[in-house]
Amino acid sequence: MALKRDIIKKLEYELMVLNQDASIKLKKKILDSDRQMVLASRAHAVKSEMLKEEEIESREGYETLLKQHLIEEKNQRARRFKVETQLMSWLQKYDIEMGDKQVELDEFTEKYDDEVQKCEKLEEQLAEQDKEYIPLMAEREEEYHQEMTEKMNKFLMEHAARVIQNAWREVLANRAEKKRLKKLQKKMQAVAAAAAAADKKGGKK
């Protein structure tokens, strides 16, 4: 009987140790999965921040270029105004100084026409840039949202696959553990039966 109790206690202790090990492994796997999710979430946040910074830099670059063009246009207008003022001054003197001043008048007229063409060309360039920039920013924003959506879907699918794989491994491990426990239980029953038979024979003697 003492041998039987010792065997049963030993088997019960082994069963308790196995249950504790299984519980510790399960908690560790859950912690690892949570840690992976946190790391992936942080990586996604960093990437999203980088894309936002890139968009801000692009917008700032456009605004800087636009300011430069506006300054240049302002300078062109100032030069044109100066030329117009000079031209008006020469026109007022035209009636008095017809001779040699006609040549200078033609030169100033040519300069004026040139400045007008430059201003018109600059205005056309600004209009073309606006036409290109507005659709470009809309396209860039659409690409950004599409990229973020695809990456988020990929991340969710990969994480779901890892969770399913881990769960399936747990199922397989639990099945193997159950088989082992059943074998252990059968072994305990066999030992108990053998001990009972031995006790029975001893009682007959």
Of the listed ranges 16-20, 66-70, 131-135, 139-143, the one predicted with least confidence? 131-135
Residue 101 confidence (pLDDT): 62
Q: Which position has the higher pLDDT, 202 or 177?
A: 177
Determine what percent of the chain falls in helix, strand and coil, rounding each to the nearest 5.
Answer: 95, 0, 5
Domain boundary assignment for the chain: 2-204
Query: What is the percent of the chain where pLDDT is above 70?
Result: 86
Of the listed ranges 23-32, 37-46, 130-139, 164-173, the one predicted with least confidence? 130-139
Report which DSSP code applies to 95.
T
Give the number of other CB atoms < 10 A from CB of residue 56. 10
Mean pLDDT of 27-48: 79
Closest-CA residue to 166 (of 61, 29, 10)? 29
Mean pLDDT of 118-139: 75
Residue 52 confidence (pLDDT): 84
Cα angle for residues 34, 40, 45 (degrees, 5° grid): 125
Give pLDDT tens digits for 140-186: 778 877 888 888 878 778 877 787 777 777 877 777 777 877 887 77
Which strand (E) or helix (H) includes residue 22?
A: helix 2-94
- Reply yes or no on whether the pLDDT at 87 is more than 80: no
Residue 106 confidence (pLDDT): 75
Rounded to whole angstroms, the Cα distance separating 79 from 77 reads: 5
Mean pLDDT of 33-60: 80
Residue 180 confidence (pLDDT): 79
Residue 67 confidence (pLDDT): 87
For the record, the structure tokens of 172 come out as 């397989």
CB 109 within 8 A of CB 81: no
With bands split at pLDDT 50, 70 and 90, how would you rate the model's confidence at 100?
A: low
- Reply yes or no on whether the pLDDT at 98 is more than 70: no
- 30-47 residues labelled b (16+ CB within 10 A) or e (exposed): eeeeeeeeeeeeeeeeee
Alpha-carbon Rg of the chain, whole angstroms?
44
Residue 204 confidence (pLDDT): 54
Rounded to whole angstroms, the Cα distance separating 19 from 154 reads: 36
